[in-house]
Structure 1
Amino acid sequence: MIPNITRGAKMTGLVVYLAGPGKSNEHENPHIVTGHEAIVYGAPAGELSHEDAIELAGKLDTARVVFGTEVSVTSRRKMNAAIDDGVPRSVALADATSDQNVWHCSLSLNPDEGELSDEKWATIAADFMKEMDFDDADSPRAPARWVAIRHGKTTAGGDHIHIAASAVREDGTKVNTFNDFKRAQAACNVLERRHNLVVLASREAERGTRGIKPAEAARARRACAPETARESMERTVRACATASKTEAEFVRRLREHKLLVRPRYDKGSAGEVVGYSVATTPTPADRANGSKPVWYGGGRLSKDLTLPRLRDEWDQSEDARTAAAAEWKATRRGTAVTVTDGRERAPIDPKLVALAADDIGKWNTYLASIPATDTAQWARAAGRTSGVFAAWSARVETTPGPLAAAARTLADSAQISAHQRAPVPKKTISAGGAALIMLQLATDDPTAAYMLLLQQLTKTMQAIADAHRAVGDLARASTVETLALTELAAVRARLQPTAEAYQATSPVSVAERTRPLTASEHRKAYDAEVDARTDISDEIKEVLKARHADTVGRPNRSHTLASPQAAPNRQSTRRNEPGVER
């Protein structure tokens, strides 16, 4: 059962809508299921009329009107966003404060669960409002008036009810609605078990994701977009974060992908950057209509895209933090990036796709060492792998396709609560190198190496599915496996002709093509990556190549090779420039 809470100031408007025909005449037989005793007593039986709705709203609003209680709520997120835009604090506070005396919550079932009777919904609604402390006979607090209305199924076909409640109790005191979103989820979990409904495993494991809001879907429909702006930005942010080694590089990548970026400081407009928000760049039509950008914080995009979570994967040296502060300041002022020759600008040779496949192969070896019970590390693995798919999708899919679907599915597996935050093991493969290569390829023409990369990523998805199954999350395991076997079939079909052509012309056997790269192949890939760097001189490039060739040629050495990014440039030393994470 899914709760969805909204707040407002017009009780009459809400009840008239719930009892009316709906936006598209989708409401059928709107009627009262149950409510507070003062509402149920004398309530009209059968289908509600417009006049009934107005009278009902008046009864619900009685306590607020009699006692004159004001329910003002300030949106800190909206206020901070306005302050970041240069609005004076007093004005931002006033604009972010609104009357929210009306509390509205819908309770929806999955379409597969069928329909409940009015009597069953009445019991569930009463239990829910008791759990939410609106109407609890065992509580010393006075109850608040509320009503549950049923008017047919959702657009997706799910059975549901709507609860309209006053935020003012019968004695004029206010209902405490603090943290009501999380409390509603907990209440639904209790009621699912109590009333033998389908229990959401994702909620119990605290791995749920944010649903698409009607306003977001409506904006996408008006723009004739294949997905909402939030879904598109989430994938872009994830790709940029996974491919980046530093926070400053992450900011530059976001701006390079035409996203508006805004930092959030711990002290208004000064101090340390503690968060960020992104928005799509307004189109000429948006500007003509006066439409303002819709901002989304990292946590609103996805739980694992908050700035603290992302920083776990990046270099946090003093130099890196200083560079990040400079990039954040540039975004806030609307000036150009501070570095114009960063590694995000270097084109990647398609030959390095084989190196990306090898990188994911090592990633799979690392995943095999993670215990199935280590939920936090498997969530991190899913998020990083999602970033590789997101980077690949950004490079080759003009509209969301199977690669974007893979990124979305794995991102769902990356959702865990903040207290389960996984530590990042030192000197461990992280799939970042593969994301960088796929995001910056100089061409999107497929080569045979793409098939090897897809094969390795499919193994990764199977490992993640197995981890879900090991802890009893069979639904999620099935979802990941189904996507790996079916949705990615289009990608395999697209790559198959290239792979077959390569097999027909290459003297190397299939077994040899699936083995790890040889020392010679490693040298060629390393040399290509060194040549792509723009932050070191040609003399240093030759030294790096010679040193690497000597290292690879020695027997009994580790297969883990140093990255060319680990080399010093003219401004840094080997001690303060960490290597590229793979």
Structure 2
Amino acid sequence: MIPNITKGDRMAGLMVYLTGPGKRNEHTEPHLVAGDPAMMAWHDDNELGRNDALAIARHLDRPRRAFGVEVAGGHVWHCSLSLRAEEGQLSDDRWREICEAFVRKMGLDDHEGTKAPTRWVAVRHGVSQAGNDHVHLVVNLVREDGTKADVWGDYGAAQKACRELEAEFGLQRLESAQRDRASRGYHPAEIEADARRRARGKFEAARRQGSESRTWWSLPKDERDGLVAAQRTADQPRWALARTVRACATASADEAEFVRRMRRQGVLVRARYAEGTHDVVTGYSVAAKPEPGQRPIWYGGGNLARDLTLPRLRAEWPDTPQGASAAAAEWGAARRGRRPVAPGREVHEPDPMVWSEVGADLERLREQLRSIPIEDRDTWARVARQTSGAFAAWSARVEGTPGPLAATADALAKTAELRRHPVRPERVPKASAAGAAMLLIAASKGGRGTVAQAAMLRQLANLAKAVHDMHRADQDARRAAEIERAIRGELATVSARLPDPGPVGHAATKAVVAVRTARQGQAGPQTPMGSPIPNRIEPQRPATAATTSTKRDPDPGINR
């Protein structure tokens, strides 16, 4: 359960909004589910209108007006309590119990008999646009005797109260509180601003091409809102950037290569330098190339994801004076818009033999994970980041729009984001999935052919399965279910387009691949080079019973 607190001084305005139609007519049947006894005796659970809202506001405001008390920052304390969409909806009685317990835990009632109570109500008006069941608590911070309710530290207190209520009422537990993980979310205002910016940019591009003669502001409001709504459901730009940056970071052997790979992927890059210097880089920002006439929107690494700050990325790369100097030169070239200073392996085709080496690394990593305890969150976060980066790298090369590979990368990325800066764990597996990202980011240019790529997919799916098993053992059912959906649903669509590689790691399979490579070297390619996956993979739903009854098992390697 997620609390969101705001404060103000317009009680009537807030109540009219909560009982009104909402910004997009999303409010339905607004009514009270809890409140102080006098308020509930009068209104009960009747549907509320504007006149009711004004009457409730007058009732709530009466102690403040009677005593003439002013509260710094506003006397109106507003807190929404929201469930995740997948939790479904609770009954009014259940919400009443939760709200009364929350107000009690926040010290806003008189259950101990030592303080005068506050006046408050809890309004429910249906689910949000994202499908989240929620309620709104409105409290007057001036108590019945004219004293002020103490809400110092209310943000932390509300989080603590919600964690206790989750346990008491059997709600889903917030992951970050239990397991030190927290993903960067999107604020509704950020989603709206992104959607409006992209909708207008696409419209203006069509106007420049001559397919549209009207101006943006001359469009009817309904048509404008429709264009914005279409962009609101699209892949959010910050998530897409995070996926690209994670792919580049995982595929890179050092910081300089990381900068070059980002630029090669079309990302705008700029460094943040230590004060008074032009060669000591302390952070970075990235932006997607904007539509013509639009300005780029910059995101710091930490705003993309917690595991993409420069200090956390640097922990994976060698720390040498030569490497620091090369990285500073590449950051400087990016700042001036010049060509890369020293292009490296990102511009070359990988040696075909590297596929076998990377495959062996993935097999060793899978075996080494068997001895890593679930309490070692740093190691599991590192493995999840590398595996997510490998899928993101493959997606960057073969998916014109975010598809199954991108969805799998996003599911695994959430495990990689720790709230605190991880220390380098003592039991770091010697093997790594970083080599897979380096190969897959060049998958559409060539490689070992479809059999090797199918084997790579199965090995990466098995790494994802290991992360899934860790979450399941840690009793994190929600995160485990997300990864399982990605493996059994999203990756099944990719696996169905690849040949069966046989038992991965089996000697016979390796021999077949070796013979095929030798023959290709003598008589030219016998199979099409490049990725067997179309350059545009449309997102698909998890496979149903009808679509999975094919000749091949659609599960790409789980439990094999």
**What's the TM-score once normalised by structure 2's chain length?**
0.71
Change (3 A) 1:114 1:485: closer
Query: CA 1:253/1:44 → structure 2, altered by over 3 Å: closer, same or farther?
Result: same
Partner of 1:120: 94
Query: 1:313 corresponds to which letter in structure 2?
Result: E
Aligned length: 480
1:348 to 342, 347, 350: 350
Cross-structure match for 2:249: 241
Question: How many angstroms does 1:510 deviate by?
Answer: 7.2
CA spacing shift, 1:167–1:349, aligned 2, 3 Å: farther
Q: Give the structure 2 partner of residue 317 of structure 1.
A: 320
Deviation at 1:282, TM superposition (A): 1.9
**Paired residue type of 1:207:** R
One of 230, 251, 254 as aligned partner of 2:238:
230
Instruction: Describe the shift of the 1:140–1:394 C-alpha distance in structure 2 as closer, same or farther (beyond 3 A).
Output: farther
- Cα contact 1:105–1:164 (8 A) shared by 2: yes
Q: Aligned partners of 1:4, 1:518: CA distance in 2, in Å?
A: 59
Counterpart of 2:386? 384
Does the C-alpha gap of structure 1 residues 132 and 394 become closer, same or farther in structure 2, counting only changes over 3 Å?
farther
- Contact conserved, 1:189 with 1:204, CA < 8 A, in 2? no
The partner residue of 1:412 within 414, 419, 432 is 414
Which SS does the other structure have where 1:278 is aligned? strand
**Contact 1:347–1:441 under 8 Å retained in 2:** no
Q: Which residue of 2 aligns with 1:84?
A: none
CA distance in 1, matches of 2:78, 2:133: 17
Q: Deviation per CA, 1:136-180, whole angstroms, max 9, x where unpaired?
A: 7669999876542111233454432123456888656884357x2
Shift of 1:225: 6.7
Change (3 A) 1:280 1:57: farther
How many Å apart are 1:299 and its aligned residue? 3.3
Please give the per-residue CA displacement for 1:340-387, whole angstroms capped at 9, x wherever unaligned.
523333343667444433332233233234234423212221111111
Change beyond 3 A, Cα 1:224–1:56: closer
Partner of 2:48: 48
Alpha-carbon separation, structure 1, partners of 2:445 and 2:438: 14
Partner Cα distance (1:428, 1:154) in 2: 46
Range moving further from structure 2, 438-447 or 460-469? 438-447
Instruction: Give, in whole Å, the separation in 2 of the partners of 1:227 and 1:270.
Output: 35
Deviation at 1:39, TM superposition (A): 7.0
2:445 to 443, 455, 460: 443
Aligned mates of 1:60, 1:310 — CA distance in 2 = 52
Q: Deviations over 1:68-110 (max 9, x none)?
A: 5553xxxxxxxxxxxxxxxxxxxxxxxxxxxx88654322334
- Structure 2: how far apart are the matches of 1:40 and 1:330? 66
Aligned counterpart, 1:306? 309
Alignment correspondent of 1:485: 488
User: Which position in structure 2 is the counterpart of 1:153?
Assistant: 127
**Can you list the C-alpha shifts for 1:264-307, whole angstroms capped at 9, x where unaligned?**
5676998965444433232125x2xxxx5444333333332233
1:462 paired with 2:468, answer no
The CA distance in 2 between the partners of 1:283 and 1:385, in whole Å, is 32
Residue 476 (structure 2) aligned to one of 469, 473, 476: 473
Residue range with higher mean Cα deviation, 9-18 or 303-312: 9-18
Q: CA deviation at 1:455?
A: 1.7
Say whether the 8 Å CA contact 1:216–1:229 is kept in structure 2: no
C-alpha displacement of 1:233: 1.3
State the SS of the aligned residue for 1:418. coil
Q: Which amino acid aligns with 2:509?
A: R
Alignment partners' CA distance in 2, 1:8 and 1:295? 31
Indicate the residue corresponding to 2:34 in structure 1.
34
- Cα RMSD of the aligned pairs, angstroms, is 4.4
Q: Which runs of 5+ in 1 are unaligned?
A: 72-99, 504-508, 526-582
Show the 5 A alignment for 1:356-395.
Answer: 356-395=358-397
- What is the CA–CA distance in structure 1 between the aligned matches of 2:291 and 2:7, rounded to whole Å? 31
2 CA distance for matches of 1:227 and 1:426? 34
Structure 1 146/298 Cα, relative in aligned 2: closer, same or farther at 3 Å? farther
Contact 1:383 1:410 in 2 (8 A): yes
From the superposition, tell whether residues 267 and 201 of structure 1 become closer, same or farther in structure 2 (CA, over 3 Å): same
Which whole-Å deviations, capped at 9, do the CAs of 1:377-423 have from their partners, x for residues lacking one?
12221111111111111111111111112111211222333165443
Seen in structure 2, the aligned counterparts of structure 1 residues 409 and 57 have a Cα distance that, compared at 3 Å, is same
Match of 1:3 in 2: 3
Q: 2:508 aligns with which of 504, 508, 512?
A: 512
AA at the equivalent of 1:109: L
Distance 2:32 2:394 in 1: 51
Provide closer, same or farther for how the CA distance between residues 273 and 51 of structure 1 changes in structure 2, counting only shifts above 3 A.
Answer: farther
**What code does the residue aligned with 1:491 have?**
V
Q: What is the CA deviation profile of residues 516-552 of structure 1, one whole-angstrom value per residue up to 9, with x for unaligned ones?
A: 9989989x99xxxxxxxxxxxxxxxxxxxxxxxxxxx
1:196 paired to 2:170: yes
Cα distance per residue 1:184-217 (max 9 Å; x no partner): 4432220022233344556422334344443454
Q: Please say which of residues 131-140 and 142-151 is displaced more in the overlay.
A: 131-140
How many Å separate the matches in 2 of 1:517 and 1:9?
A: 72
Query: Structure 1 vs Structure 2: percent identity of aligned residues?
Result: 44
Q: Distance in 2 between matches of 1:49 and 1:324?
A: 62
**Letter paired with 1:368:** R
Change (3 A) 1:114 1:225: closer
SS at structure 1 position matched to 2:498:
helix
Q: Greater CA deviation, 198-207 or 226-235?
A: 198-207
Gaps of at least 5 residues in structure 2 are 196-228, 522-560
**Distance change (3 Å), C-alpha of 1:38 and 1:353:** farther
- Deviations 1:481-533, CA, capped at 9 Å, x for gaps: 44323321111111128x69xx9xxxxx97422479989989x99xxxxxxxx
The residue identity in structure 1 corresponding to 2:487 is A
Q: Does the CA-based 8 Å contact 2:251-2:435 persist in structure 1?
A: yes
Higher mean alpha-carbon deviation, 440-449 vs 313-322, is at: 440-449
Q: CA deviation at 1:317?
A: 1.9
Over residues 230-265 of structure 1, what are the superposed CA-to-partner deviations in whole Å (9 max), with x where a residue is unaligned? 221121111111112223332333333233344456
Number of the residue aligned with 1:568: none
Deviates more, 1:391-400 or 1:225-234: 225-234
Contact 2:61 2:140 survives alignment (8 Å): yes
Shift of the 222–266 alpha-carbon distance from structure 1 to 2, 3 Å rule, reads farther
Which moved further from structure 2: 47-56 or 376-385? 47-56
Q: 2:442 is matched by which residue type in structure 1?
A: Q
1:27 shift after superposition:
1.6
Deviating more after overlay: 484-493 vs 58-67: 58-67
Equivalent of 2:264, from 256, 259, 272? Answer: 256
State the alpha-carbon separation in 2 of the partners of residues 101 and 334 from structure 1: 51
Report the AA paired with residue 26 of structure 1.
Answer: E
1:30 corresponds to which letter in structure 2? Answer: P
Cα separation, partners in 2 of 1:345 and 1:190, compared to 1, 3 Å: same
What displacement does 1:336 show? 3.0
8 Å Cα contact 2:369-2:429 kept in structure 1 = no
Residue identity opposite 1:468 in structure 2: H
1:176 pairs, out of 152, 159, 176, with 152
Give the Cα separation in 2 of the matches to 1:284 and 1:196. Answer: 51
